[in-house]
Structure 1
Amino acid sequence: MHPLLFGIRLVVFDLDGTLVDSVPDLAAAVDATLADLGLPPPGAARVRDWVGNGSLKLMERALADARGVAPDEALLARAHDGFLAHYGRAPSARTRLYPGVREGLAALHGRGLPLALVTNKPSAFIAPILAGVGLEAYFGLCLGGDSLARKKPDPAPLRHAAAHFEVAPAASLMVGDSRHDIAAGKAAGFRTLALPYGYNHGEPVADSRPDGIVESLADLV
């Protein structure tokens, strides 16, 4: 067992860039939305650096990149609605698990540790994606970016998860791939663990000074 797990009674995971590579599906929806607006598609490589702050911010970044100026509220709302419609048709068609994810979750779950999922993705997409990649059985709580009034990097969702399972923050671990995950974990009083392969706006997640870094979730167990 990884040393960071000693004394831990709750493990909270991010989704995109931590458990799954969802960029192919996100990029397809962004490209289709911009095409509907007569704008050039950015493609997966650019979308990868925009993921992490929820779907509204994703579309704001995509529109600003395509037009050269920040969108007004009306255009952003129209684009966001279009994105949700496109993405909702097939949110897990191209999404894949990262290596070691299933093994790591199965081992933690087998030890009786409660597991939670806290993502900034709209909550409506969580269940279809988990079912699509076969992870739906592992999580006792799933929170999306619209589940509470605030989302990561605010610590509120993590504190909510700890309270839900009646576990002290100091006995909880936040596992993610971005500075938002690490910031939320630190602010909530959690231990923090980072994975270096995900989406962090092109920056090394080590710069956020997590308590630990592993190359794969399989390394936890």
Structure 2
Amino acid sequence: MHPLLSGKKLIAFDLDGTLIDSVPDLAAALARALEAEDLAVPEQENVSRWVGNGTYRLVERGLAWAQSTPENRLDRARLNRLYAAFMRYYGKAPHRLTRLYPGAAETLYALREAGFVLVLITNKPERFIAPLLEHFALSEAFALCLGGDSLARKKPDPLPLTHAAARFSVAPSACVMVGDSCHDIAAGKAAGFATAALTYGYNHGEPIGQSRPDALLDSLSELL
């Protein structure tokens, strides 16, 4: 096992950019929503920089880009209409183009078999978690799954992490947060978790090392 896991009991994982490459489906749904409003469609590279704060912020950033308008000056009625369309399109095909990162499934089940409590903590709306985990045969890996709308606050707030630790009566010092973005690392540090960051995910175009995680990983299999 990776030295970071020594003495640990619970491991929390992010989803998008950590376990799955979901940008292709997110970008496709955003494109359809924007096209319906006769707006320009961004490249996937743009969308990858907008992921991490939940789907509403993703759509907000997309609309601001398409209109060349600051986010705080957007027409909220249009934004809400666009968001509803995005959620409808994404909900119809959340895993058509999405791919599981190499080694993700094997690593998760090996860690569970080794006795770790695994939890999923994502800012993606909860309604999309089960279909994705079922599609990728990961439903049995996690003892708890929390979406961005499961609790009153989401990452980078530490609430989802401290909630998970309390749920299983595990001290934060015996927990690890594994993610790909600064929000995962900030939440982990604020919760008192050790932190591990994947170098391949989505982090608004910035090197994840700048967030100073306790460990940098090029692959999830490095946890084993």
TM-score interval for Structure 1 and Structure 2 normalised by the shorter chain:
over 0.9
Deviation (angstroms), 1:194: 0.4
Q: Give 1:97's aligned residue.
A: 100
Q: Is the 8 A contact 1:13 1:118 kept in 2?
A: yes
Count of paired positions: 221
Structure 1 residue 207 corresponds to structure 2 residue 210: yes
1:100 deviates by 1.4
Q: Write the letter of the residue equivalent to 1:39.
A: L
- Select between 67-76 and 12-21 the one with higher mean Cα deviation: 67-76
The equivalent residue for 1:162 is 165
Question: Percentage identity across aligned positions?
Answer: 59
1:71-109 per-residue CA deviation (whole Å, 9 max, x = no partner) reads: 222111111101000000010111111111112111101
Q: 1:145 aligns with which of 144, 148, 171?
A: 148
Gaps of 5+ in 2: none
Q: CA deviation at 1:218?
A: 0.8
Q: What is the TM-score normalised by the length of structure 2?
A: 0.97
Runs of at least 4 residues off by over 3 Å: none
Offset, 1:43: 2.5
Q: Secondary structure at the match of 2:178?
A: strand
Match of 1:83 among 80, 86, 95: 86
Contact 1:103 1:217 in 2 (8 A): no
Residue 133 of structure 1 deviates from its aligned partner by 1.3
SS at match of 1:49: helix
* TM-score, reference length from structure 1: 0.99
Unaligned runs of 5+ in 1: none
Q: Residue 89 of structure 1 aligns to which amino acid in structure 2?
A: K
Find out whether 1:74 has 2:77 as its counterpart. yes
Is the Cα contact below 8 Å between 1:31 and 1:43 reproduced in 2? no
Distance 1:139 1:92 in 2: 19
In 2, the alpha carbon distance for the partners of 1:88 and 1:74 equals 21
Q: Which residue of 2 aligns with 1:195?
A: 198
Q: Distance in 2 between matches of 1:216 and 1:100?
A: 7
> C-alpha distance in 2, partners of 1:57/1:214?
27
